[in-house]
Amino acid sequence: MLMRLLLISNSTNAGEAYLEYPKHEIGKFLEGIDEAMFVPYAAVTFSFDEYLAKVQARFAEIGVGVRSVHRESNPAGALRRARAIVVGGGNTFRLVKTMQEQGLMQVIRERVPEGVPYVGWSAGSNVACPTICTTNDMPIVEPASFNAAGLVPFQINPHYLDAHPDGHAGETREQRILEYIAANPGMYAVGLREGCMLKFEDGVLTLMGARPMRIFRHGENPYEVNPGDDLSFLL
């Protein structure tokens, strides 16, 4: 199988520099590739140019140049020619709306299964799922649909958090995912904790990081899987 994915829960761990913890894994994943095309459209409170500069600075440390679709006269054409595709985090709804409008989602559906490596963090990992229904983000804009690229057949909840703060009466993250699987009983959803990532390569899905991942499916009690466990059931 040609498809190669690196789906990262979060860009930055607390107290670390931007993209510090996933930087080396991204470098190994993109070994032999000297340039990637970046999709910055999840940025909302800062500019796409600012976002690109942050990513360029970090990727320069692993020897990968970065261009951005927002600077291209034909974003879909530029993405189609990319040697690697990188989709950054931010607001998932803003990201998907713009990707749909520019035809980028379809390009990803076509090119990534052909072997173009895909790296996404946070909202960028949501884009790899069938839909964006398990994002954590507020729907600040309305995309044409919730459909995403469908590179994997399960849903990811990035930044998955177990905490239920004292005095907080709202739903926990787990309760919200349980609502999703109740409404979508045929789907798996995974809680991908910060500091962790999923790699798909050579037909094998691997959990990477120091923390377990939580598995949700309707009719089953949620449970944990650990790095090194067989995840073929998700595929």
Element (H, E) at 176: helix 173-183
- Give φ, ψ of 209 to 5 degrees: 130, 180
Whole-number Å distance between alpha carbons of 48 and 228: 37
Catalytic one among 11, 122, 164, 232? 122
Catalytic one among 137, 162, 168, 232? 137
DSSP alpha helix (H) spans, 2-120: 23-29, 48-60, 75-80, 92-102, 104-111
| 3-state SS assignment for residue 60 | helix
- Active site includes 24? no
Place of tokens 């239920």: 164
DSSP letter assigned to residue 147: B
- Active site includes 202? no
Whole-number Å distance between alpha carbons of 134 and 13: 21
86: β partners: 38, 119
- Active site includes 9? no
Active site residues: 122, 137, 159
